[in-house]
Amino acid sequence: MSRHSDSKRQQMRIRIAQEAARLMAEHGIRDYYAAKQKAATQLGAVDTRNLPRNEEIEAARIEHQRLFNPVQHPQQLHYLRETALRAMRLLSAFDPRLVGPVLSGSAGKYDAITLHLFSDTAEEIAFTLMEKNIPFRTEEYHLRANGREHSFPGYRFIADETDIELVIFPASGVRHPPLSPTDGKPMHRASSRKVEQLLADEQASLQPLAET
């Protein structure tokens, strides 16, 4: 294959990643594969075998937010993390961990806050939500771990007009994170203390924006 062909393929790969990132940020597509397939179709590259990896799309999502929402996105991300922290404090008995786009910084207006909770009985978490008069619905989440897909029980509720997903793991699961759909590595998780630190760091950078 010629160097020119390699260059064209790489350029198309970058364009697909950028378009997939835009679709996820602006149209609420949450599945990487669906986003890259739709992006490839829109760019007339349906037959390409060189689709970008999920981590390339994630990087493009962060760059998209930086370029097109330089003021609004940091404020929105800070708000989502504040909301996540309030939910984590509410559910502190279950050692909550923040994961996903709200933690990584790529979250847009359509992304949910995802928390991992740890309890050997999912019903215990349901009782906590009911005691606090929080309407919720039951969900089932599919994540990869130990080389195969597993189903985990969970719940979803709305706080401050934001979806919050609760994925429930056994009590011992805090030491064994599932694999990230972004890069296939163990998923990054943040404790309440880590989220507090993220918010404190953000506050310093947001201060000049509030003064302008």
- Per-residue pLDDT 10s for the chain (212 aa) are 556 567 888 899 999 999 999 999 888 898 999 999 999 999 988 777 779 999 999 999 999 999 998 989 999 999 999 999 999 999 999 999 999 999 999 998 889 999 999 999 999 999 999 999 999 999 999 999 888 899 999 999 999 889 999 999 999 999 999 999 999 999 999 999 999 999 999 887 776 555 55
Answer yes or no: are the C-beta atoms of 87 and 159 closer than 8 Å.
Answer: yes
| Stretch (H or E) spanning 118 | strand 113-118
**Which has the closest alpha carbon to 78: 181, 199, 201, 204?**
199
Stated pTM of the model = 0.88
Question: What angle, 0 to 180 degrees and rounded to 10, lies between the N-to-C axes of helices 32-42 and 54-68?
Answer: 70
Answer yes or no: are the C-beta atoms of 116 and 99 closer than 8 Å.
Answer: yes
